[in-house]
Amino acid sequence: MVARAVTIFHHEERGSSCCPHPSPPQWDPAEDLRCIAATFQYLHTSGWYWGSVSASEAREALLTKSEGTFLVRDSSHPQYMLALSVKTRYGPTSVRIEYNRGCFWLDSISPGLPHLQSFPDVPSLIQHYSGSGQTPQDQASSDILPQNKPDAAQHAAKDSGVPLKLTNPLHRLKVFPSLQHLARLTINRHTNCSNQLPLPNPLLRYLQDYPFSI
């Protein structure tokens, strides 16, 4: 698992923050609808999008899971659409996902890296932080501060942070991925050029409908 040089301080339960990303000088608002609709289409296909569950419900679902287990849900903050909930070594925590003009990124304040990398959709963001397709120069430490520190040893994490790991998507039982989707994920993990595979066009379109490996 590869970690990244990011310290995330803002969690789902806290107030709003601003992480200004550069955006095109001219922007068609219709593009917002296209980008957001595409992201939610991908999320509904993924199986690890939990919809309108609360932060406490997400915490309960992750509490007994292994470190790195994660899900994406609707944000409870009115200024944000989505939040990432993940099980860290100190317990479950949540981080808001920012959106502006076709770009998604994790809500963060980091002196060394004030503007986090942005992505055209949320699955691309999740795949990036899960280590898929990373290069050696990307390897660094990524930190999330835990929401709950029940003992003195964990209190030390306040200054150092906790490595952010996204390793195991947590699927809802009612929307567990089909065998076809699992096969698609396997194919996507082994090729970056699925459109060039010797497959019938309907299968190629099916692969292209979800071009991610997680």
CATH assignment of the domain containing 77: 3.30.505.10
Domain residues for 69? 6-174
**Residue 82 resides in a domain:** yes
Alpha helices in the chain (DSSP H): 29-46, 55-62, 122-129, 152-155, 157-160, 179-190, 201-208
Q: How far apart are the first and last CA of the chain?
A: 14
Asked if 86 and 26 sit in the same domain, the reply is yes
Q: What share of the chain is helix, strand, coil (3-state, %, to 5)?
A: 35, 20, 50
Asked if 28 and 129 sit in the same domain, the reply is yes
Asked if 155 and 193 sit in the same domain, the reply is no
Asked if 39 and 119 sit in the same domain, the reply is yes
The one-digit pLDDT tens for each residue of the chain (214 residues) are 444 434 444 445 444 333 445 555 677 888 899 999 999 999 999 999 999 999 999 999 999 999 999 999 999 999 999 999 999 988 999 999 999 989 999 986 555 555 678 999 999 999 999 874 333 233 333 344 444 433 333 333 333 456 678 999 999 877 777 889 999 999 888 887 777 788 888 888 888 899 999 9
Instruction: Please state the domain count of the chain.
Output: 2
Asked if 170 and 181 sit in the same domain, the reply is no
**Residue 1 resides in a domain:** no
Structure tokens at 188: 């996507």
Asked if 62 and 117 sit in the same domain, the reply is yes
